[in-house]
Chain A
Amino acid sequence: MTFSEQELAAPAAEHAVTAVDDAPRKRWAAFRNASWKLWTGLAICAFFVVIAFIAPLIAPNPNQTSSIGLQPPSFAHPFGTTNIGQDVLSQVLAGTTGSVAIGFIAGAITVILSMIFGVGGGFLGGKWDEAASLISNVFLVLPGLPLLIIVTDYVQSRSIVVISIVIAIVSWAGAARVLRAQTLSVRSRDYVDAARVASESTWRIMLREILPNLMPIIASQFVFGALGAILAEAGLSFLGLGAPGGKSWGSILFFAQNAQAITLGAWWWFVPPGLCIAVLGAALGLINFSIDERINPRLRTLALVKRASRDAHRKATR
């Protein structure tokens, strides 16, 4: 993939600046309010990305066994050890690399595919829409799990990259449908008709009238794509169908489940990986939500909104 995370986020950022055309004071208030979600989300994501990069340096041997066996957290092993004495913290660190990579690769591919098929089809209508919907639907009805097994069998190499590409190919169709439904709704609005009557070019209508109104949904589709991929891979690995030898949070849970960690009460073995998935997922969700708020001020969860409407109400009833 030639698209980086920044490039994908760039159009959204541009719109965020232009879309909120308020008085500066208001804009500052909005920024301050949106910022805690945005900064929290970004900080957590950055933390995991950094871990993903430096994991090989700080946890070089996640599979190193030792004779101490299953041990609860201690000073030497902050997250305890597995049934064959592996350090759980090292495993979680190494697993971060795999899970983060899968989220970003699959999220990016999901957005690109769903925009081509969903927005393109919905906007152009007619034969294009029919063809795009047909392709989307065929992908939508292919259950990901068996397909993944068959395809990876066929590829003969289940690497992290291959798995994330396959996950994206299997899962973009849902996003495309959501985008298509919204595109159909936006397309039939007055201002689009007005632009058509004013004989604006198709591209201009698409980029200036329709796309800005789809941005919140596109943003959330990227996040759900990344999040969905992380969850899908975790599920696959948990079932023992992940990349062989590849470390991810899901594969730790697979080994924990196989070694009866739950019945043994080894909470330190299965709690951290799942918690990591949830925290990274929540961070993606927060970023997504604050992007939505920037683009679509109505979505803001403001105490400010309440105050404004109360003041307006007071003025009106005075």
Chain B
Amino acid sequence: MRYYLRKVVFYLLAGWIAITLNFFLPRMVKGNPVQVIIAKTQRLAPLPPEARHALELQFGQTHEPLIVQYVSYLQHIFTGNFGLSVTYYPSPVVDVIGQALPWTLGLVGIATVISYIVGLLFGSYIGWRRGSWLDSLVPVSTFLSAIPYFWLALILVYIFGVNLQWFPVTGGYDNTVMPGFTWDFIGSVIYYGLLPAFTIVLASVTSQVLAARNMMVSTMAEDYVVTARAKGLRPGRVFGSYAMRNALLPSITGFAISLGFIVNGSVVTESVFSYPGVGYTLIQAVENDDYPLMQALFLIITLAVLGANFVADIIYGVIDPRTRIAS
């Protein structure tokens, strides 16, 4: 119990540090973001004073002391007030992120889980059958795991989108279909999501395979596995109950880490497909110097990764008593 309590306290602390960094980082940027934004929007439409005021609030352009700004920043976070977006002016930042989030959660979430499970099972199996022909897959997966997400996306777009024209290559759904809970719309979403999802799975599964294989091979020489085999237990039982369970331990922590990698890769993948998720929105925000949106996205991604790590740590504590005893 003490272990879990410590973890909770620890992650609350880490979350606070992340939030505080998010407050200070934009204030370290040289130049005046507000001026940049005003200069940009001036060409499109004159900026109303209240929007300017919102921007100034966002960047601490008030003449209040820092501590007062910090407190009001915290209040804004908990009330979900991140100001107005420049790119999607005059929508509030919260609405923009709210629209992007489901797309990314769906696409990246499903792709990550598929890649993780397939990679672990397949990798452990290759490790289990060490010395068989399956070993020849190791150099192949080494090559595949080195392929950049976005380049794989480009190649797939070139082959399946441009040449064969099997799949659409931009957007999240067919614009002629009305969004809603209709079979047409859901089918369109799945159809448009296939190629990006396939890209993410293909680009990330191979490193999972390699990691799982190496862990499995190391575990197989442990005394308890040797003992289990010597006892004459069925190979399937040794594989499942003895070897795999222990080989998977490090990859529980690995899941949170690979989630970070995959999120990074997905940002670029989304931008290739112009997929309306968080990653594509982030790139849009960067290109338009949309600081309010950038900062809020930064915070959302940060807290999501933090949450994933927290869950991984809790699970790790449950399945591996040694970590609890160590603390």
The residues of A with any CB-CB pair to B shorter than 8 Å are: 37, 125, 130, 133-134, 137-138, 140-147, 149-150, 153-154, 156, 174, 177-178, 181-182, 184-185, 187-188, 216, 220, 227-228, 231-232, 234-235, 238-241, 253, 257, 262-263, 265, 267, 270-271, 273-274, 277-282, 284-286, 289, 292, 296, 298-299, 301-306, 309
- The 10 A-B pairs of least Cβ separation, nearest first, read A281-B146, A306-B131, A274-B151, A301-B135, A285-B142, A305-B131, A282-B143, A174-B257, A235-B268, A143-B301
B247 to chain A, nearest CB (A): 12
Chain A CB within 8 A of B46 CB: no
A83 to chain B, nearest CB (A): 16
A265 to B155, CA, bound (A): 11
A3 to chain B, nearest CB (A): 24
Partner of B158, one of A154, A267, A298: A267
Which B residues are in CB contact (< 8 Å) with A271? 155
Given contacts A145-B267, A150-B25, contact A188 B326 (CB under 8 A): yes
Chain A CB within 8 A of B10 CB: yes
Chain A CB within 8 A of B221 CB: yes
Query: Do residues B214 and A299 form an inter-chain contact, with CB atoms below 8 A?
Result: yes
Query: Do residues B305 and A285 form an inter-chain contact, with CB atoms below 8 A?
Result: no
Given contacts A181-B253, A184-B326, contact A143 B130 (CB under 8 A): no
Query: Do residues B143 and A174 form an inter-chain contact, with CB atoms below 8 A?
Result: no
User: Which A residue sits closest to B295, measured CB to CB?
Assistant: A146
1/0 contact trace for B281-294 toward A, CB 8 Å? 01100110000001
Partner of A235, one of B138, B249, B264: B264
Query: Do residues B254 and A292 form an inter-chain contact, with CB atoms below 8 A?
Result: no
Given contacts A142-B18, A154-B29, A239-B271, contact A185 B283 (CB under 8 A): no
Query: Do residues B157 and A298 form an inter-chain contact, with CB atoms below 8 A?
Result: no
Query: Do residues A253 and B151 form an inter-chain contact, with CB atoms below 8 A?
Result: yes
Q: In terms of DSSP, what is the predominant structure of the interface of chain A? A: helix
Query: Do residues A153 and B30 form an inter-chain contact, with CB atoms below 8 A?
Result: yes
Given contacts A178-B253, A271-B155, 10 further A-B contacts (CB under 8 A): A140-B305, A145-B267, A146-B298, A150-B29, A185-B322, A231-B149, A267-B158, A270-B158, A282-B146, A289-B138
B:280-327 near A, CB below 8 Å: 282-283, 286-287, 294, 297-298, 301-303, 305-306, 309, 322-323, 325-326
Given contacts A145-B267, A156-B30, contact A181 B250 (CB under 8 A): yes
The residues of B with any CB-CB pair to A shorter than 8 Å are: 10-11, 13-14, 17-18, 21, 25-26, 28-31, 130-132, 135-136, 138-139, 142-143, 145-151, 154-155, 157-158, 162-163, 210, 214, 217-218, 220-221, 249-250, 253-254, 257, 260-261, 263-265, 267-268, 271-272, 282-283, 286-287, 294, 297-298, 301-303, 305-306, 309, 322-323, 325-326
Given contacts A265-B162, A305-B130, contact A138 B143 (CB under 8 A): no
Query: Do residues B146 and A277 form an inter-chain contact, with CB atoms below 8 A?
Result: yes
Given contacts A177-B253, A265-B162, contact A143 B131 (CB under 8 A): no
A207 to B131, CA, bound (A): 32
Question: Can you give 18 A-B contacts (C-beta < 8 A)?
Answer: A130-B10, A137-B10, A137-B306, A143-B260, A143-B298, A146-B282, A147-B25, A150-B25, A181-B250, A188-B325, A235-B264, A270-B151, A274-B147, A277-B147, A282-B142, A285-B146, A296-B218, A298-B221
Query: Do residues B139 and A286 form an inter-chain contact, with CB atoms below 8 A?
Result: yes
Which B residues are in CB contact (< 8 Å) with A277? 146-148, 151
Which B residues are in CB contact (< 8 Å) with A238? 150, 268
A178 to B136, CA, bound (A): 26
A241 to B289, CA, bound (A): 13
Which B residues are in CB contact (< 8 Å) with A305? 130-131
